[in-house]
Every structure is written in structure tokens, then in C-alpha cells.
Structure 1
Amino acid sequence: MPEIAAHARSIPSSGIRRVFELAQDVEGAILLNVGEPVLPVAGHVLAAGARAWEADVTHYTANGGIAPLREAVAAKLARENGLRVEPERVWVTAGGMQALHQAMALTLDAGQEVLVPDPGYANFAMTARHVGAVPVPYALRAERGFRPDVADLEAVTTARTRVLVVNSPSNPLGTVLGEEDLRALLAFAARHDLWVISDEVYERFTYGVPHVSTAALDDDGRVLSVFSFSKTYALTGARVGWLVAPAGWGEVLRSAQEAVVSCVNAPAQLAALAALEGEQDVVERAREFYRGNVAAACALLEGAGVAHQRPDGAFYLWVDVSHASGGDVAAWTERFLRERRVAVAPGSAFGARGEGWVRVCAAGGRAELLEGLSRLPVP
């Protein structure tokens, strides 16, 4: 029999999913490992999707999405992100993950290299492998507050490098890159003539610092921006996101979208439109809920003397358990789940530099979050 393609076999498995699956068999487990908001979807968003199904709005849409949604996204980007783009540059995708996949598929040929943050979202490396490219980690160091250093990027850049991935607010670290950081990264990308893929899925959740969109600082048209409705509106299962592409990419994106999903399902697009055009107080309440969870969690960890990265954005805590994990945090998280009934994501799932750390999701109930954290071993 023929073999599975080599690039498909090279896709790494998800250490986050491994813990998630194991936790299903642990009765009473506290689940702090997956980025799933506990807050309900707003009623007007659910109603818009339900009306679409009931009215049989179930036919194909344009490859790039329905015009009202693309227009609403473009208006939102101008209003909130300082990014003025024509609606034709907005491509509605099946979640942020498909936007990321399209961005990599359109900028990377087989064997070319993409710089991905380490620690960083595991799916960056997985997606790169899926399109036949080679993910190359660049260091995010604790002593720098997990902010990128251009010197570290220069050290791993080769003649095969084609793309730089930037993630702010960061999953799993919660770091938020400011204008100075982003301008330095754009200057680096310009020196090496790289595309930049900017993952801004957690843009609406920052705490005391502004979110800056990379593309708003881009004068060269080298940035592709990835966004999602999943976290902002608790629509993780609806699978609606969007990609902001450089000008003039319409024809190639039309073909690429047709080849992958044709279009995103119409009721989900209408629900997303209602989310974007409706009252945004639900987002403000969510941000304050997560801010409160983060503050309470950090206070508990500080009181226990457990080292951690206090996040400026997203809704994760990056916690140092190296005093207990014995150099294999993936195995330790499995033992911790069995013995203490708490599921956390091993830091090694986010790159080699995540060894000794765990990611804790703070988007659930506060009582469970604090109870789970109280079971962590103290130094």
C-alpha cells in the first residue's frame, strides 16, 4: 500500500489534547487545560443563528464570506485596530485556525522555514508541518518577560526563512507586544524580506495595556492578520474567524478558499455578524471576568510562593512547576491529573522552552480555578 505523505506524518501530536483526553476518565477532575470560555454566548447571537437555520439559510455563500460580515469586519478594524482595509481583503474562515492555515499555505513552499515563538501556540508548528514547511523556534526568554529579542531571531534565520509568526496577546504566555516591539519585528522582517503572520485572536482581552495590530504599523504590505470570533464571543464551536490579506490577493484566495472549505456555513456567519454589530457589553463583561480571575489566581500563587508570568492579555497563566516536574513536565501533568485530579497543559506542548512550566486556563469558574491552583506543589 502507498504510505501517508511524509509531511503529514511529521505533524506533531498535541500535548494539550493528550491531557484533555486523559481527563475524561478522571472523575471530578478540574479542567484548566483547554482555552474554553465558561461564559454563555449572548442571546442575540444565538437568536441570529437560530433564525438562519429556521429560515433555511443553508446555501453557499461567496468564498470570502457574506458581504455584510466582511463589511462589518472592515469597519471594526478601522474603528478599533487603526487598520483601514477594503472588505475584499477580509476573508471569512472556519475559525482562526483556518485563517492561520491559509496564511501559511499562501506564503510557504515545501521545505521553506517559518519562525515560530517558543514557547508559543502549538498549532503554529503543527500547521507549518501540515503545509510541508519547517517550523523553526525563536526563543522567548523568562528574563526578558517572554518578549522577542531580534538577536534571537537573527540567530535562527537562514536563506530558507520566508515567514515570521507574531502572537500578541500570546497564547500561552499572556504577553502583549507594544508598538516598539512590533516595529522592531517589522524592521527585522523587512531586512530579510519575510512575510509576517500576526495572530491576534485574543485582541479584545488585555489588562491595562493597549492591543496594537501589527498590520497597522506595516508600510510594506507584508503582514497577514489572523482573527477569530471564538474567544471574544465564546463562539469556539461555531468556527468563524477571518484573515486580513495583503491587497491584490483576491483571486488566489478565492481559489484557495474553494479548495479548502468553499465557504463558511451561512448560519454561523450570520451569528458572527450579530455578535459584531450588537452591543459589546458582553465582551466588556467577559474581559472584567477574566481580569478578576487572573488577579485572584496571581494572588494565590504569590501567596504560595509559586513563580508565574502575570499576563497582560489573553486568559492564561504561565506557571513554573520546575521544582516538582523533574525535567519532564508532560509526564508530571499526567501524574498530577491522576493524583490531584487537576488537568493543566504541559509547557513542553508549547515548545522546548516550555519545559518545567504549565499553562493554566483562567476562563472558567473562579472557585474551580482557585481550587485547582491550590493543589499545585509549592517550592
Structure 2
Amino acid sequence: MPRPAPHIPGVPESGTRRIFELALTLDDVVMLVVGEPDDPVAPHIRAAAQAAWERDDTDYAPNGGIAALRRAITAKLARENDVSVDVEQVWVTVGGTQALAQAFTIALGPGDEVLVPDPGYTTFTMYPRSIAAVPVPYPLRPSRGFVPDVEELARLVTPRTRAIVVNSPSNPLGVVFDEDVIASLVVFAADHDLWIISDEVYEHFTWDAPHVSTAAVAARLGEQDRVLSVFSTSKSHALTGARVGWLVVPPGYGPTMRALQESMIACAGMPDQHAALAALEGGDAHIRAARERYRRHISLATELLDARGIRSHRPGGAFYLWVDVSHATEGDVAAWAERFLLDERVAVAPGTAFGRAGEGSIRLCLAASEDDIRRAVALLPAPDPAAIGGSE
């Protein structure tokens, strides 16, 4: 029987998906495990997709996406991100996940290394492994507010290092990097001649400071051509199942991207692209409403956790809460999360799904109902009263 390529067994399983899919087999589960907005899709977005189906607009699209959507994305980038690009630099993808895959494919070959945040989104580790590249974790430490240390990054660079992943607002921590931090990372990448893969999927959800796009900072430093920027409609417009994102590449990569798109997906689905076009052109009232709701949920959850003496990191963005349950997990938070699901019918993401630094922590997705948040927090194990303290 044929065997898979030697590097394939090294692709790690998603610890988040493992809990999620187990939860789907159970009844009456509070789902706080995956980044799934529970808002309904705005009516004008649903109507655009429905209209595409009704007029049978289901043929192949151009590899890069329909022209109207690509133009809308360039306008959005200029308006919201201070990023000026032409249409040929924008490539519509099957969600942000495929945009990440294309970015890694451009930047990495077999044996090449990429610096990835720890804790960090699972795909940052999974996809490089799937193409025989090597993800090298860089630590995000509570003592530094989960901001990377450039000196520590420099010690991780080897002759095989080709790229660094920057994620702000971050998943799972909700950390938002300010312009000075991003500038330091751009300078670091330039000093070591690295690609920057910038995941900005949670750009619309920041709480204390505005989102800053890596490409905008890089352009001011004359380094924009080393940035590959990843965006998505999944979180901002509650379109996780429609699967529309985009990758922004430097000038001159049109032929490369055309070949990569054709070989990987050919194109994103036409009804989905029309939904995304309506999302970008239909105003942001639904985004603003979701933002305020998530802000309330973060305040509610942190207050409930504080009252029970359970430590958490209050995020600057995204809609997650990073919670310390090390007092209950006995050094294996993944096993604890599974037991917690089976015993209490609450699905949470184990911290180790996002890297070794996540041991003892869990991620709660607060894009859920207040009732579900209250129920989940009430069931979390509290530490011994002698250890009670506030949030970090």
C-alpha cells in the first residue's frame, strides 16, 4: 500500500477542531470553541448571494475574482487600511485560510523556516508542515503583554528562515499591535530579508486602539514589497461558511498568483463572491452592532471570571478571552477540555491547540449569547480561595 509523503505525518491535528467535532455529536452544548460569529448574516448580503443563484451565476470566475469585487477590495483597503494597491495585487480566495496557504506557498519551500507566534492560530503551524516547511514558534509572553521581543526573534533566525507571521488583532489572544510594534517587526524583517505574512482577519474588532495594517506601516518604511496581507469576510460579516477572503501581494506577482490559484482552487464560488461584494459595498452598520455586542460580552465574561477568582487576559481586539485554568488541568489542558465537554456540555478551545505556550489556558469565543457565556463561566472550575486574584 502506498505511503504518504514523509512530511505529511508531521502535520499536526487541529486541537480546536477536535473538540468542535466531538461537540457536534452531543446535545445541548454551549459552543465557545470555534471563532464562529452567532450573528445572522445581514439581509442585503444574503439577498446578493440568493440573486446570484437565482440567475444561475454559477460559472467559473477569473482566477483572481470577479472584477467588481476586486475593485471593491482595493477601495476598501485605501479607505480603511491606508493601503494603496492596484486590482492585480488583490486575489480573492476561499476564506482567509486559503489566503494564508497561498502566502506560505509563495514564501516557503521544503525545509524553509517561518517564525510563527506561540500562542498562535493553528494554521500558522499546520500549513507550513503540509508543504514540508518548518514552523518555528516565537513566544508571546504574558510579562510583555503578549507582544513579541525583537531581540528574541533575532536569536531564532537561521539561514533557512524565510518569513515571519504577524497576527494583529491576534487569535487566540486578542492582542492588538500598535504602529511602533509593527514598525519594529517590519525593520526586523528587512534586516533579515524576510517575508511578512500579515493576518488581519479580525481587523474590525478592536477595543482600545485602532487597527494598524502592516502593509501601511511597511509602505512608510519603504518595505511594502515584502508584505503578504491576509483578510477575510468570515468574522466581520459572519460569513464563515461562505468562505471569501483575499490575499494582497506585491506588484508583479500576477502571473505567479494566476498559476497558484488555478492549481489550487481555480476560483472562489460566484454566489459567495457576490455576497462578499454586497458586504463591502453595503455599509458597516452590522459590523458596528457586532463590535459593540462583543465589547459587552468581553466585559461581562471578565467580570464574571474576576468574581470567581479565575484569571484572564483582557483582549485589545478580536472576540476571544484567554483564560487561565491551570489550577484544574493537571498539566494537560487538551485532555481537561475534552472531559469538560463530556461532563459539562461546554466546548472550549484548549490553549495547546495554539502552541506549547498555551498549556494551562483555554480560549473562549465570546461571539455567543450572554446566556451561554454566563452558563460556561459558571461551570469553569475556580481556584482555591487562597489563590484568588484579578485579571491580568
Specify the TM-score bucket, using the shorter chain as the normaliser: over 0.9
Q: Secondary structure of the residue that 2:363 maps to in structure 1?
A: strand
> Which residue in 1 is equivalent to 2:24?
24
Q: Provide the C-alpha distance between the structure 1 equivalents of 2:119 and 2:151, rounded to a whole number of angstroms.
A: 17
Residue 279 of structure 1 and its aligned partner are, at CA, apart by 2.1
Q: Provide the C-alpha distance between the structure 1 equivalents of 2:210 and 2:183, rounded to a whole number of angstroms.
A: 15
> Which residue in 2 is equivalent to 1:287?
291
User: Structure 1 runs of 4+ off > 3 angstroms?
Assistant: none
Question: What amino acid sits opposite 1:179 in the alignment?
Answer: E
Q: Provide the C-alpha distance between the structure 1 equivalents of 2:263 and 2:311, rounded to a whole number of angstroms.
A: 47
Residue 27 of structure 1 and its aligned partner are, at CA, apart by 2.6
Q: Provide the C-alpha distance between the structure 2 equivalents of 1:9 and 1:334, rounded to a whole number of angstroms.
A: 23
Counterpart of 1:239 (choices 243, 248, 252) is 243
> Which residue in 2 is equivalent to 1:111?
111
- 1:10 matched to 2:14? The reply is no
Counterpart of 1:377 (choices 356, 377, 381) is 381
Q: Provide the C-alpha distance between the structure 1 equivalents of 2:301 and 2:36, rounded to a whole number of angstroms.
A: 17
Q: Secondary structure of the residue that 1:344 maps to in structure 2?
A: strand
Q: Provide the C-alpha distance between the structure 1 equivalents of 2:208 and 2:87, rounded to a whole number of angstroms.
A: 31
TM-score (norm 2): 0.95
Judge which range, 18-27 or 218-227, deviates more: 18-27
Q: Provide the C-alpha distance between the structure 1 equivalents of 2:11 and 2:273, rounded to a whole number of angstroms.
A: 30
Q: Provide the C-alpha distance between the structure 2 equivalents of 1:256 and 1:337, rounded to a whole number of angstroms.
A: 40
Deviation per residue, 1:294-339 (Å, 9 max, x gap): 1111111111111111011000000000111111101111111122
Q: Provide the C-alpha distance between the structure 2 equivalents of 1:36 and 1:248, rounded to a whole number of angstroms.
A: 35
Deviation per residue, 1:54-90 (Å, 9 max, x gap): 1011111111001110010000110110101111100
> Which residue in 2 is equivalent to 1:360?
364
Q: Provide the C-alpha distance between the structure 2 equivalents of 1:59 and 1:70, rounded to a whole number of angstroms.
A: 17
Q: Provide the C-alpha distance between the structure 2 equivalents of 1:275 and 1:25, rounded to a whole number of angstroms.
A: 33
Question: What amino acid sits opposite 1:271 in the alignment?
Answer: A
Question: What amino acid sits opposite 1:315 in the alignment?
Answer: F
> Which residue in 2 is equivalent to 1:340?
344
Residue 130 of structure 1 and its aligned partner are, at CA, apart by 1.4
Q: Provide the C-alpha distance between the structure 2 equivalents of 1:270 and 1:22, rounded to a whole number of angstroms.
A: 33
Deviation per residue, 1:209-248 (Å, 9 max, x gap): 1100000011221000000000010000000000000111
Q: Secondary structure of the residue that 2:289 maps to in structure 1?
A: helix
1:175-214 superposed matches below 5 A = 175-214=175-214
> Which residue in 1 is equivalent to 2:83?
83
Q: Secondary structure of the residue that 1:330 maps to in structure 2?
A: helix
Residue 7 of structure 1 and its aligned partner are, at CA, apart by 2.3
Residue 131 of structure 1 and its aligned partner are, at CA, apart by 1.7
> Which residue in 2 is equivalent to 1:100?
100
Kindly report the root-mean-square deviation, in angstroms, between the aligned alpha carbons of the 2 structures: 0.8
Deviation per residue, 1:114-136 (Å, 9 max, x gap): 00000000111001111221000
> Which residue in 1 is equivalent to 2:308?
304
Judge which range, 337-346 or 175-184, deviates more: 337-346
- 1:135 matched to 2:135? The reply is yes
Judge which range, 22-31 or 217-226, deviates more: 22-31
Percentage of identical aligned residues: 57
Specify every segment of 5 or more residues in structure 2 that has no aligned partner in the other structure, as ranges: 384-392
> Which residue in 2 is equivalent to 1:33?
33
> Which residue in 1 is equivalent to 2:150?
150
Q: Provide the C-alpha distance between the structure 2 equivalents of 1:120 and 1:236, rounded to a whole number of angstroms.
A: 19
Question: What amino acid sits opposite 1:136 in the alignment?
Answer: V
Judge which range, 53-62 or 191-200, deviates more: 53-62
- 1:251 matched to 2:255? The reply is yes
> Which residue in 1 is equivalent to 2:334?
330
Q: Secondary structure of the residue that 2:353 maps to in structure 1?
A: helix
Specify every segment of 5 or more residues in structure 1 that has no aligned partner in the other structure, as ranges: none
Q: Provide the C-alpha distance between the structure 1 equivalents of 2:200 and 2:24, rounded to a whole number of angstroms.
A: 30
Residue 152 of structure 1 and its aligned partner are, at CA, apart by 1.9
1:210-229 superposed matches below 5 A = 210-218=210-218, 219-220=222-223, 221-229=225-233
Q: Secondary structure of the residue that 1:173 maps to in structure 2?
A: coil
Q: Provide the C-alpha distance between the structure 1 equivalents of 2:189 and 2:7, rounded to a whole number of angstroms.
A: 26
Q: Provide the C-alpha distance between the structure 2 equivalents of 1:157 and 1:117, rounded to a whole number of angstroms.
A: 14
> Which residue in 2 is equivalent to 1:121?
121
Q: Provide the C-alpha distance between the structure 2 equivalents of 1:342 and 1:112, rounded to a whole number of angstroms.
A: 39
Residue 24 of structure 1 and its aligned partner are, at CA, apart by 2.5
Q: Secondary structure of the residue that 1:117 maps to in structure 2?
A: strand
Q: Provide the C-alpha distance between the structure 1 equivalents of 2:227 and 2:313, rounded to a whole number of angstroms.
A: 28
Q: Secondary structure of the residue that 2:7 maps to in structure 1?
A: helix
Q: Provide the C-alpha distance between the structure 2 equivalents of 1:12 and 1:196, rounded to a whole number of angstroms.
A: 23
TM-score (norm 1): 0.99
